Amino acid sequence: MLRSDAARTGVVFLVLAGVAWGTSGTLGTLLSARADVGFLPIAGYRIFVGGLILFAVGLVTGLRFPRERSGWVRVVAMAACSAVYQFGFFSAVGLLGVSIATLITVGSAPVMVLAVDLLTGRQRLRLPLAAALVCTAVGLALFMGAPPAGVELRDALLGAGLSLLAGACFALISLMGARPVADYHDLTGTSLAFLLGGSAVFALSLAMGERVLFAPSLPSVAYVLALGLIPSAFAYLAYLRGLRSQTSTTGVMVALLEPITGSVLALLVLQERMSPAGVLGAVLLLSAVWLSTRRVSD
């Protein structure tokens, strides 16, 4: 039996967010090839342009700036998590490769969130959720494949730490989303957070010697706008909306749709084929998503 229409709607929003996030890899790769910029500046464009889009929508629908300290604290916290996530994940990719960085980042976030939810009594570890965690661990290992050869121990440890940092940031975003602050308006607050976070990523990119500006062309501008709209503005608003009626644990589990969507798009757009082990891993990840939302539809 359905708990409520709100619970069902929440899962739909979380699924939409997970699928939308999955477009970021393909869009980022296309933009990098077209504009000849690195992935850290691209991450800056992703959240900064997303913030601009949300702010523009707010100008039409009505902006609601925080009036109390709690609302501004949430804006700064979201900005910090967004910026640190981009830095941690893309720095880890440079050390470990995409597969292992994604494995640690995506795999660690549910564990962190579940630990907090269990300690605070917001979640109980029942059989479907335990089975979902097992499917997640095995599925991610199969889905992401083998690590790159020749990675030194120092780089491996540093990359793992950066991946865990990124996973912790996503976990914090999920925990905050499931614990809304009355003075934090999702659209206005997220737009301000993305503008602050994107500016920080741009500044860090410049400090690291990355090229941020590029000669605009119709395709590159289209990719930038798509990055800001789909995996940033739309995805995060949908995710925060879904967390209003779902636990943060359910949110991070449904977010496992991101790497699956990314691989499907990579196959269709970039002709990157998935191995048989990867297909099995994707099936296990889909099973984990189903198991983690099963209580909503039982």
Q: What is the pLDDT of residues 89-129, one digit of tens each?
A: 888 877 877 667 777 887 788 888 888 888 887 777 788 77
Q: Are 125 and 118 in contact (CB under 8 A)?
A: yes
Residues 6 or more apart from 112 whose CB is under 8 A from it? Answer: 167, 168, 171
**Could you tell me the pTM of the whole model?**
0.84
Give the integer Cα–Cα distance in Å for 30 and 44. 16
If we measure between CA atoms, which residue out of 144, 81, 77 comes closest to residue 107? Answer: 144
pLDDT in tens, 39-83: 889 999 999 999 999 999 999 999 899 999 999 999 999 999 999
18 backbone dihedrals φ, ψ, rounded to 5° = -60, -45
